[in-house]
Structure 1
């Protein structure tokens, strides 16, 4: 997959911008605050229909304007495709592929797979389990439509069950049989999600460990442990055993919506003992492993978005990363940096066709 051209209108701080890209390496250089990361975010929109920065769509409309538009020309190996995303202030977001509007944004996921490595990834290590669950779901959903469907159905069922629990508390009335209606869909979709997550972590862990060993020169050993309530007990048992607890709390306290990933280094939690460089190296290894799985499963090479990749990495780790990118043939790459000379030297080391865009 190759993005040949990107056009922005009223997107964040870019009123009108058009870029024609190299099929291999593209670098955006300039001072902090000029909008380099915003360009990567627009490319991320083309891939999954939303921001990787966590901003709401409306907040990405340029101040004083009534809409934003992102348009990309994408070559899929056989033909050119036009992806167009429009967000008006007073209406819902529209995503079109070759002038045909998607009925659901979920239908677009997987067409243009992408992997983003940015300073914001540190939240995966420091934040609550919710961040890691969302990341895990995002990784699997890019290659598995059924998983995405099961996830949407499960989340919908949990919301409905929680709403019923809250209504019981409000009315001071509890209907056990009415609540049990939700057991079957929770178990059906939740168990499928659990099995898929377990299988995915098992398949990706050796890749993460291998990439980390290369980037760090084998200095530390890392691991990823999948934690789930369903590992200790069948879902039906969890629902029965925690029924009274759920009634008091007025929400569903057990299930795959409470899953977590533990990132470990030398047997200890990475967030407790890992330096900033070690944590960044782990996140890079995690994302490169994601790229590898997408490529193997779908046959598509994801675009790689590297935002401020030099931050927190020493020269040795950067050199290993560049060597890895060279060896693995990761496809089209987009890089942001504040130093033009450093970027130019990096591109020479990778030795591929490239373009450098100065953003002002």
Structure 2
């Protein structure tokens, strides 16, 4: 699969842009703030219906305009696919495939798989467990549409149960039968999600280990572990046992919404003891494993977007990474960097041709 071209209108800092891409390596160069990352985000919109950085669609519209439009032509398994996304202020987002609007956006997820590696990914290490669960859910959702539906259902049941707990606190009116119904709904969805997450991790961890070893030469020992309350107890029983605590706190304190991914370096917490370079290597290995997982389950190569990844990586790891992603294992790649000379030198060294684009204050041209 590859993106042949893209057209932007009033997207972020772009008034308009119309580009055709190489099916191998495409590099956007320019100063910070010029709009390089915005181009990657436009590609992310076409594949996953949303921004990688900001969930509010209207905030992607260029200042002093009323709408944005992103369109692209993909070659997907030798078939042309036209994707378009349009957002008008105070109106519902329109998302179309071959000029036909989707009944629900979830139907698009997974058709055009994509992996993004960005400085923003430090949130996966540094922030709370919600960021790490979001990472797991993003990967599985691109390979399993039923998983995404189940996740939506679980969150709806969770909201209903939390709303009931708050109501009990306010009215002092407790109906055990109603809480039992909500518990049962939560258990059915929760156990399905738990089973799929466990199955995913069994495949994913060996892929992660393989890429981290390649990037670092095996000099460091890292760990990746999935932890869930459902590992050691029955979900239904946990909900019953936590009833009084949940009523007091007015929220559900047990379930798969408390699952965690634990990252370690030589047995120590990566968040506390890993250097910025080590954390970045960990994240890159995590995302490359995501790429390999998607390719394995989709049967074709996803897009790979690398945003400003040379920062905080030493030359050896940069060289290894570029050498790896430029091999036949990977498909179309989009890269941003501030240094044109650095990019040209790097790819000349590994003998890989690139399509170079210069970005300057919201304008972009083929170099």
- The TM tier, using the shorter chain, reads over 0.9
What is the correspondence of 1:277-292 to structure 2 with a 5 Å cutoff? 277-292=277-292
* Secondary structure in 1 matching 2:326: helix
Q: CA–CA distance in 1 between the matches of 2:284 and 2:318?
A: 11
Q: TM-score, normalised by structure 1?
A: 0.98
Partner SS, residue 233 of structure 1? coil
Q: Does 1:208 align with 2:208?
A: yes
More divergent stretch after superposition (300-309 vs 165-174): 165-174
Separation of aligned partners in 1, 2:141 and 2:93: 21
* Structure 1 unaligned residues grouped into runs of 5+: none
1:27 is matched with 27
2:104 aligns with 104
The CA RMSD measured in Å over matched residues stands at 1.1
Deviation, 1:127, is 0.1
Q: What pairs with 1:1-360 in structure 2 (closer than 5 Å)? A: 1-327=1-327, 329-360=329-360
Distance, in Å, in 1 between the alignment partners of 2:93 and 2:71 is 13
Q: Secondary structure at the match of 1:65?
A: coil
Contact 1:306 1:336 in 2 (8 A): yes
Which moved further from structure 2: 180-189 or 116-125?
Answer: 180-189
What count of residue pairs does the alignment treat as equivalent? 360
CA displacement at 1:327 relative to structure 2: 3.7
Aligned partners of 1:228 and 1:258 also within 8 Å: yes
- Once residues 350 and 54 of structure 1 are traced to their aligned partners in structure 2, the CA distance between those partners, rounded to angstroms, is 35
Change (3 A) 1:68 1:300: same
Taking the aligned partners of 1:354 and 1:316, their CA distance within structure 2 comes to: 20
More displaced, 52-61 or 100-109? 52-61
Shift of 1:324: 1.7
> How far 1:209 moved relative to its partner?
1.1
State how far apart, in whole Å, the 2-side matches of 1:306 and 1:326 are.
12
Structure 2: unaligned runs, 5 residues or longer: 361-367
Measured after TM superposition, the shift of residue 323 of structure 1 is 2.2
CA contact (8 A) 1:227 1:259 kept: yes
Q: Deviations over 1:300-356 (max 9, x none)?
A: 211000000101100011111122223452100000000001111233244344210
Distance 1:111 1:188 in 2: 27
Q: Give the superposition deviation at 1:173.
A: 1.4
Structure 1 ranges of 4+ moved more than 4 A = none
Residues 228-254 of structure 1 deviation map (CA, whole Å, 9 limit, x = unaligned): 110110111111110111111111110
For residues 200-222 of structure 1, give each alpha carbon's deviation from its aligned partner in whole angstroms, at most 9, with x where no partner exists: 11211111111111111111011
CA distance in 2, matches of 1:326, 1:15: 32
